[in-house]
Structure 1
Amino acid sequence: MQQGRLLWMGKSQVGIYRMAVLPLPSYPEEGEMGGESYYDAVRQTQEFQKFNSIFLKTIDHMKELFNRVVMQNEEIDSDKAVKDVENVVSQSRNSLHILDMLQCMRRYDDETYVHSLNVALLSNVIGKLVFPSVSKEDLDSLTLSGLLHDIGKMLVPDEVLRKKDHLTISEFNVVKTHVLHGSNILAGMKGLDPRVAEVAMRHHERCDGSGYPGGWHREQITPFAKIVAIADTYDAMTSDRVYRKAICPFDVIHMFEREGLVKFEVEYLLPFLTTAVQAYMNAEVYLTTNEIGKVVMVNADELSKPIVKVGDTYYNLAKDHSISIDRMVD
């Protein structure tokens, strides 16, 4: 397929394509990376190393917080918890940059603390995208909701959470109790926005009624719970788990395009996906042709099928269905 130059230089002729609408991070160009992947090059920057350092310090603070709250029955210092997350946010330039940084953190295998901080950051991103005039109080409560959404997993047996094989029905039912544990831990805490406990209980509800614990539908689920549900699902699927490797982000985005429009709040999901996919611009990917290419353009109608450049050839994955992205070059 040699029509790439037409697509690249004459994009007015293929109007469904567009370049990223947010400024892309400035990192080494392809010829300057000395054989490293895009994400390896990013990890070498001082900017990422500072982000990484503050991120890991925040994880240490979270471990202390979770243990004090769950094991010692202490109250949550909401202001300090939010400030810790804000310190991480302050290391990024915009929402796209946060997503770019998080993609470089995918090597950390931690289903509780790293995941919770990621969900807090993603919830913060989504909140600002869909509610541009959101108050600081509401944004702080949303961010805290993302941070604490899985705190109930501290009371789920580790041998179930860390099991490498498929869970039995009874084991999955045990895992599902984390929403009840989380709500019970957070409900009634002094000075804690009640929406935080509500999110702990409802972040696995789905707009079509297929979620748990109550099988609630769209109109019953609060905005915060809908936002954290998107952040939680996206991060969980794009991260390594004890029972599987991380799923390719383009496969995850395709899942959201295929099923997410009925399971999640569309008004929140689409702005997030439109921003999230831009974090993969310039990233190297393995194609099903066994070639390595670079994502150079985004298809606004099919976000999961970008244009990929391999040498002088441009593959339009929205048009050529015989080729797809197999995985990211990490």
Structure 2
Amino acid sequence: MGKICILVSECKLGDIVAQKVVSKYGATIAVENTVINNYIKNKLIAFDINYIWIYGNADEETPKLIDNNLLKLKKDYKQNVMEINEVINDLSRGKPVNVQKIDKISNSIYNAINDEYHIIKCLSELRTADQHLYSHSINVSFYGMLLGKWLCLTKSEINKIVQAGLLHDIGKAKIPTEILNKKGKLDVQEVEEIKRHTIYGYNMVKRIHIISDEVKEAILLHHERMNKSGYPMGKDGDELSLYSKIIGIADAYDAITSERIYRHRETPFIAFEILQKENIECFDIHIMSTFLGNLAACYVGSRVMLNNGRTGEILYVPPHAITKPIVSVESEYIDLSKESNLKIIRMI
């Protein structure tokens, strides 16, 4: 299916966006694969967008193309989870890091860099608590890769971020499974042991010359925070590399939105709120705002359930209010920023 550049005034309802649409102020209006509806079209006009790229004219073949892309991504994702499972299990048995396998997984992930819509859809749908450690490593690589792309980093830099995401939690291979899988609250000693995973992971790779120093540093420092509240050394923001900051944000977001043995996942919009309010002093503001603003736009078209039991589709995520999107419910437009009693409780 080819791409066609057309006037916004001529685009039809049901046309599918083929290239991200950004306003002159840098706000994301629509991501690739967004389906044009009245609300989106009016927003394009309001932001003075004259032309957009679409996948030809919407027809029966286009949704099949999108489904095939998603199916392939899900298949590759599951394979990558199995591969990283083997890497981490080998480490727990004292074997060295399989760098060739890490490179293979990294390349598979990087190949999807221009398909952010399907990446987010895939990560939203394929989440289980029982494989958390393995899927979490893959997820953090994907989120880190997208953040690197949104920060306009080079391919070489983004590849290092992908590798850092895959390896950031390998130190947990040294943590007893009864601690990792404990359903109840961890005691003080158990918490301290969990915190040592950053040091364990760093020690596993520090002598492997083909792993870059930036990746090694991200493994060691991804739990450090801008306000010195992190671990293992309590460093501040000036002492943290870009890679450590990126992996720290990707790790935190995926942790909030993932199923765990001891708690349920939060919706992306609750996660945005937590990261904006509760962790505002913990993360680099520029990197965080870049991540959340671009990521939020990727949820346009997602099906959601509101706390009143009604279901609908996200039509638009305002750049100035990413926690309160516009939702279409049975042909009614609901602006959650103006409905204080309503909120999204589940992604469908």
**TM-score bracket relative to the smaller structure:** 0.7 to 0.9
Tell me whether 1:50 sits opposite 2:50 in the alignment.
Answer: no
Tell me whether 1:179 sits opposite 2:198 in the alignment.
Answer: yes
SS in 2 for 1:309: strand
CA distance in 1, matches of 2:279, 2:235: 16
**Equivalences for 1:181-330 in 2 at 5 Å?**
181-329=200-348
Query: Per the alignment, do residues 204 and 60 of structure 1 end up closer, same or farther by CA in structure 2, a change over 3 Å counting?
Result: same
CA distance in 2, matches of 1:95, 1:313: 28
Query: Per the alignment, do residues 140 and 45 of structure 1 end up closer, same or farther by CA in structure 2, a change over 3 Å counting?
Result: same
Q: Which residue of 1 aligns with 2:102?
A: 81
Query: After superposition, what is the alpha-carbon deviation per residue over 1:9-63, rounded to whole angstroms, capped at 9, x for unaligned?
Result: xxxxxxx9x8733222569xxxxxxxxxxxxx99x93322221222222222222
Corresponding pairs, count? 296
Q: Which residue of 2 aligns with 1:6?
A: none
1:23 equivalent among 32, 46, 49: 32
Tell me whether 1:128 sits opposite 2:139 in the alignment.
Answer: no
Query: Per the alignment, do residues 63 and 289 of structure 1 end up closer, same or farther by CA in structure 2, a change over 3 Å counting?
Result: closer
Q: Which residue of 2 aligns with 1:36?
A: none
One-letter code aligned to 1:187: K
Tell me whether 1:119 sits opposite 2:128 in the alignment.
Answer: no
| Structure 2 residue ranges without an equivalent (≥5) | 1-24, 37-62
1:281–1:295 contact (8 Å) kept in structure 2: yes
2:317–2:325 contact (8 Å) kept in structure 1: yes
1:204–1:212 contact (8 Å) kept in structure 2: yes
> 1:160: how far off?
0.8
SS in 2 for 1:121: helix
Which segments of structure 1 move beyond 6 Å, counting only runs of 4 or more?
none
Identity of aligned residues (%): 28
SS in 1 for 2:132: coil
Query: Per the alignment, do residues 287 and 233 of structure 1 end up closer, same or farther by CA in structure 2, a change over 3 Å counting?
Result: same
> 1:197: how far off?
1.9
2:249–2:283 contact (8 Å) kept in structure 1: yes
1:82–1:140 contact (8 Å) kept in structure 2: no
> 1:89: how far off?
3.6
Tell me whether 1:99 sits opposite 2:120 in the alignment.
Answer: yes
SS in 1 for 2:320: coil
CA distance in 2, matches of 1:45, 1:23: 14
CA distance in 2, matches of 1:215, 1:120: 24
1:19–1:297 contact (8 Å) kept in structure 2: no
> 1:206: how far off?
1.0
CA distance in 1, matches of 2:294, 2:117: 6
Query: After superposition, what is the alpha-carbon deviation per residue over 1:59-110, rounded to whole angstroms, capped at 9, x for unaligned?
Result: 2222232334453442542x54233222234246433332222112124642
1:285–1:295 contact (8 Å) kept in structure 2: yes
> 1:259: how far off?
2.8
> 1:133: how far off?
4.4
> 1:217: how far off?
1.2
Moved more, 61-70 or 109-118: 61-70
Query: Per the alignment, do residues 296 and 140 of structure 1 end up closer, same or farther by CA in structure 2, a change over 3 Å counting?
Result: same
> 1:224: how far off?
0.5
Give the TM-score of the pair, scaled to structure 1. Answer: 0.82
**Equivalences for 1:22-41 in 2 at 5 Å?**
22-24=31-33
> 1:187: how far off?
1.0
Higher RCO, 1 vs 2 (CA within 8 Å, ≥6 residues apart): 1
Query: After superposition, what is the alpha-carbon deviation per residue over 1:117-170, rounded to whole angstroms, capped at 9, x for unaligned?
Result: 11111111111111x241x33222221111100000001011111111111222
CA distance in 1, matches of 2:182, 2:77: 27
Tell me whether 1:90 sits opposite 2:99 in the alignment.
Answer: no
Give the TM-score of the pair, scaled to structure 2. Answer: 0.78
Q: Which residue of 2 aligns with 1:62?
A: 84
SS in 1 for 2:345: strand
SS in 2 for 1:210: coil
2:31–2:298 contact (8 Å) kept in structure 1: no
CA distance in 2, matches of 1:92, 1:304: 25
CA distance in 2, matches of 1:61, 1:81: 8
Q: Which residue of 2 aligns with 1:10?
A: none
Query: Per the alignment, do residues 305 and 257 of structure 1 end up closer, same or farther by CA in structure 2, a change over 3 Å counting?
Result: same
